Structure 1
Amino acid sequence: MNGIIFVYNADSGLFNTLTDIAHKVFSPETYSCNLCAITYGNFGMRQEWKEFLETLEIPMQFLHRDEFHERYGMQGLALPAVLLQEGEQLRLLVSADEIGRCADMADLKGLLQEKLK
Structure 2
Amino acid sequence: MKPYLVFVYNADTGVFNTLTDIAHKIFSPETYSCNLCAITYGNFSIRAEWKEFLESLDAEFEFLHRDELEPRYGVSGVPLPAVFVKKGEAVDIWINSEEINRCGSIEDLKALITARLAG
| Residues in 1 aligned to 2:22 and 2:64: alpha-carbon distance in whole angstroms | 17
SS at match of 1:45: coil
Contact 1:4 1:58 in 2 (8 A): yes
**Structure 1: any 5+ residue segments left out of the alignment?**
none
Q: Does 1:25 align with 2:26?
A: yes
- 1:103 CA drift (Å): 0.5
Contact 2:73 2:89 in 1 (8 A): no
- 1:31 CA drift (Å): 0.4
| Residues in 1 aligned to 2:83 and 2:59: alpha-carbon distance in whole angstroms | 13
Q: CA RMSD in A?
A: 1.3
- Normalised by the length of structure 2, the TM-score is 0.94
Q: Does 1:106 align with 2:113?
A: no
**Structure 2: any 5+ residue segments left out of the alignment?**
none
| Residues in 1 aligned to 2:40 and 2:3: alpha-carbon distance in whole angstroms | 22
Q: Does 1:40 align with 2:59?
A: no
- Normalised by the length of structure 1, the TM-score is 0.95
Following TM superposition, the consecutive aligned residue runs of length 4 or more in structure 1 with deviations greater than 4 angstroms are none
- 1:93 CA drift (Å): 1.0
Contact 1:2 1:87 in 2 (8 A): no
| Residues in 1 aligned to 2:94 and 2:3: alpha-carbon distance in whole angstroms | 13
Q: Percent identity?
A: 59
Matches within 5 A, 1:16-95: 16-95=17-96
